[in-house]
C-alpha cells in the first residue's frame, strides 16, 4: 500500500517528487521491523547501521546511472547502476567494523557530495506514453518480494550484509526506468536527483534505529526514527523547490 501511494503521488507531482518520495524507507523499514521482531534487537541494530551506510551505495547507483545515460538506453544504464551498487556494497562489507558515529559521518559526507557530481542534460519535449495497467501492481509486488526475501535470508547471510542489501533501490530503479523510457533521460535524472535529496531522511531513520533499538526498544526507536526522517524529508523538499525555481529540476 505504501508503494502504491508513493507511485500515485509521484504521477501527480512529477518525477523529481517521485524520486524524493522513495527516499523514505518504504521497503527497508519493514525489513528492519521484521528483523527486530524475528532476530532480536542487537541483530536489527547491526543491520540498521549497515542499511544507513548502504545509502552511499544508493548514491553510487544514481551517479552511475546518470553518467551513462547519454550513451546508453535504459537497460544498459540500469545494469551499470546496479553494478555500481554491488561494487560499493562489496566494499562496505569488506571494511572492518567502524563505530557508529564515524560510520554516520562518512555516510552523510558521501550523501552531501553526490548531488554535486550529478551531470546536467539538455531537456527535450517528449511525448509521455500512458502507463500500462499492470505497472502499479508490478511495482507493489516487486517491493513486497524484496521484503520477504531479505527477511527470510537474514539469518543465513548475517545482519551486516542484510543491512547493506536492504537499501537496494529497487523501487527507485523502477521509477527511473519508466521515466527514462517514457519521458527521456532528463526525466530519469530528475528521479535520481529527487532520490539523492531523499536519502538524507533515509540515512537519518536508520541512524536513529542503530543508536536506539537496543536501549529503547522497537516502538520508541521506530517512532523516533520516523519523526526524525520526516523532519529531514521536509527540509529536503524545500531545497528541491529552490532547485526547481532555478530550473535545475523539472
123 pLDDT tier (thresholds 50, 70, 90): low
Mean pLDDT lowest among 87-96, 132-141, 193-202? 132-141
What is the average pLDDT across 39-51? 92
Is 80 exceeded by the pLDDT of residue 141?
yes
Long-range pairs, 64-69, Cβ under 8 A, ≥24: 65/176, 65/188, 65/192, 66/118, 66/119, 66/188, 66/189, 66/192, 67/119, 69/119, 69/121, 69/180, 69/185, 69/188, 69/189
Residue 227: strand, helix, or coil: helix
In terms of pLDDT, which residue wins out, 13 or 115? 115
Per-residue pLDDT, 247 = 58
CA distances from 142 to 20, 146, 169 (A): 19, 6, 12
CA distance 77 to 145: 23
Which residue, among 216, 212, 195, 163, has the nearest Cα to 47 in the 3D structure? 163
Domain borders along the chain are 2-119+134-246
Mean pLDDT of all residues in 37-46:
92
The least confident of 119-123, 184-188, 213-217 is: 119-123
% residues pLDDT > 90 (the chain): 43
- List the single range of 148-152, 162-166, 237-241 with lowest mean pLDDT: 237-241
Asked whether residue 155 carries a pLDDT value surpassing 80, the answer given is no
Over residues 241-247, the mean pLDDT reads 64
Q: Tell which wins on pLDDT, 117 or 174.
A: 117
Rounded to the nearest integer, the mean pLDDT of the chain is 85
CA gap 236, 99 in Å, rounded: 27
- The distance of Cα 154 from the centroid of its chain, to the nearest Å, equals 19
pLDDT of residue 113: 96
Position 199 scores a pLDDT of 93
Using CA atoms, how far apart are residues 156 and 17, in angstroms rounded to an integer?
36
Mean pLDDT of 77-102: 92
Span of 12-16, 91-95, 122-126, 228-232 with lowest mean pLDDT: 122-126
Q: What is the mean predicted confidence (pLDDT) over 224-243?
A: 83
At 57 the pLDDT is: 95
Say yes or no to pLDDT of 184 above 80: yes
* pLDDT reading at 128 higher than 90: no
Segment 37-52 mean pLDDT: 92
Give pLDDT, residue 245. Answer: 65
So what's the pLDDT on residue 56? 95
Residue 82 pLDDT: 94
Amino acid at each position: 500500500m505504501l508503494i502504491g501511494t508513493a507511485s500515485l503521488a509521484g504521477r501527480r507531482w512529477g518525477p523529481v517528487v517521485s524520486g524524493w518520495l522513495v527516499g523514505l524507507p518504504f521497503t527497508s523499514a519493514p525489513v528492519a521491523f521484521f528483523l527486530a521482531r524475528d532476530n532480536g534487537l542487537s541483530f536489527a541494530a547491526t543491520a540498521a547501521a549497515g542499511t544507513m551506510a548502504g545509502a552511499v551505495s544508493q548514491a553510487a547507483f544514481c551517479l552511475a546511472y546518470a553518467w551513462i545515460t547519454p550513451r546508453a538506453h535504459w537497460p544498459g544504464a540500469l545494469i551499470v547502476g546496479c553494478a555500481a551498487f554491488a561494487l560499493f556494497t562489496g566494499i562496505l562489507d569488506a571494511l572492518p567494523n567502524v563505530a557508529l558515529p564515524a560510520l554516520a559521518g562518512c555516510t552523510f559526507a558521501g550523501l552531501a557530495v553526490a548531488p554535486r557530481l550529478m551531470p546536467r542534460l539538455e531537456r527535450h519535449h517528449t511525448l509521455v506514453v500512458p502507463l500500462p495497467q499492470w505497472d502499479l501492481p508490478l511495482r507493489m509486488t516487486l517491493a513486497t518480494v524484496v521484503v520477504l526475501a531479505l527477511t527470510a535470508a537474514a539469518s543465513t547471510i548475517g545482519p551486516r550484509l542484510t543491512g547493506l542489501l536492504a537499501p537496494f533501490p529497487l523501487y527507485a530503479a523502477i521509477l527511473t526506468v519508466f521515466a527514462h523510457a517514457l519521458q527521456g533521460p532528463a526525466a530519469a535524472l530528475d528521479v535520481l536527483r529527487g532520490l539523492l535529496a531523499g536519502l538524507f531522511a533515509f540515512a537519518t531513520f536508520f541512524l536513529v534505529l542503530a543508536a536506539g533499538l537496543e536501549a529503547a526498544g522497537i516502538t520508541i526507536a521506530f517512532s523516533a526514527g520516523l519523526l526524525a526522517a520526516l523532519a529531514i524529508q521536509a527540509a529536503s523538499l524545500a531545497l528541491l523547490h529552490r532547485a526547481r525555481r532555478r530550473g535545475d529540476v523539472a
